[in-house]
Amino acid sequence: MTQEPSEIDKLYYPHWWQKRYAPEEALEKFINYLNTATRTLRNQVRTEFNIPYGFRNREKYNILGIDLPDDSPIIIYVHGGYWQAKEITHTNQGFISKIFHKHGIKVITLGYELCPDVEIKDIIIEIETALRRCLDYAKLNMSKGVHLVGHSVGAHLVACMFNNFIPNLSYDDQSLIKSVFLLCGIYDLSPLPQTEINKPLNLTDKESKAVSPQFMTLSSPEHMKFYVIVAEYDAPPFREQTEKFHKKLKESGFQSTYRLLKGDDHFTVIERLVDEEYDLTQLILSAIE
């Protein structure tokens, strides 16, 4: 029998706060959903698989919707998994393209290496490298625009891009990025050294602050629109941090909108993107179209 997590660990485990399953079942159900839903879609959306952007095994991305016009808008999606979950990868995120493909939008799912093989600061650099490649692809094809979406620690990684990477892009590259969706993110990593989550991360107190968007100097071009979103049944720190990070963005001059998704949990926020009538699907579509 698996030992029950400590109270502080439970606070940072979103599967303990969802209402659909027993906590020990929730992660397995989510991973099964990712695999099954992506497998089902594989024959419906033409995809270019495992394009390398580096030399490590997980430094790859998929482009879904290569049958669409070259200039189609592009969603770049960064998955979660606490920087360590091997079962969550760019290869089982393709299901999110179901509705977006119908609306003429390509989806790129990014992979990245995991802790403890690398450190979080290394993963941030990987995402910068991958985004550089994706922006080059978008420019080459004269895309109508790029839209960044990150879920859970994927939201953390996307947020980190507004520290050094995106502010230092050329005007043309910055102009390509139209909107940013941060879904159920964690933006302050300073509590994590006190949790079991930190074992593969190996963060010190100082390092945890250094890789926290909440403590970074962030800036954004005026035209980019940010949507900072959290689920009603997410873990309490995720809800608190989302509100606090939205406030930081507003105070930093970002165009930021906060949204609490009633009735949702950390996982349904992603699972329900296959539903065209779902509030979040409609919000992303309206931002793109």
For 157-175, what is the mean pLDDT?
A: 97
* Rounded distance between C-alpha atoms, residue 58 and residue 52, angstroms: 8
Residues in the chain: 289
The fold adopted by the segment(s) 7-229+249-288 is: Rossmann fold (3.40.50)
* Rounded distance between C-alpha atoms, residue 279 and residue 209, angstroms: 33
What is the pTM (predicted TM-score) of this model? 0.98
Q: 11-26: per-residue pLDDT in tens?
A: 999 999 999 999 989 9
Alpha helix (H) ranges present in 141-210?
A: 153-160, 171-176, 198-201, 205-210
For the cut 50, the answer to whether the pLDDT of residue 51 exceeds it is yes
For the cut 90, the answer to whether the pLDDT of residue 127 exceeds it is yes
> What separation in angstroms does the CA of 92 have from each of 30, 62, 165, 201, 286?
11, 10, 27, 23, 25
Tokens of 88: 């969550």
Cβ atoms 13, 235 nearer than 8 A: yes
* Rounded distance between C-alpha atoms, residue 73 and residue 107, angstroms: 9
Closest CA to 187 of 225, 230, 148: 230
**pLDDT value for 25:** 96
Q: 192-218: per-residue pLDDT in tens?
A: 999 999 999 999 999 999 999 999 999
Cβ atoms 110, 90 nearer than 8 A: yes
Q: What is the phi/psi pair of residue 122, to 5°? A: -70, -40
Which position has the token pair 């910055």?
174
Strand partners for 146: 74, 177
Peptide bond into 193 cis (omega under 30): no
For the cut 90, the answer to whether the pLDDT of residue 43 exceeds it is no
Q: Using CA atoms in the order 36, 42, 47, 50, what is the torsion angle rounded to 10 degrees?
A: 40
* Rounded distance between C-alpha atoms, residue 15 and residue 266, angstroms: 8
**pLDDT value for 2:** 55
C-alpha triplet 130, 209, 203: angle, nearest 5°: 80
Q: In angstroms, how far is the first alpha carbon of the chain from the final one?
A: 50
**Mean pLDDT of the chain, nearest integer:** 97
Q: What is the phi/psi pair of residue 150, to 5°? A: -130, 140
* Rounded distance between C-alpha atoms, residue 69 and residue 209, angstroms: 43
Q: 212-228: per-residue pLDDT in tens?
A: 999 999 999 999 999 99
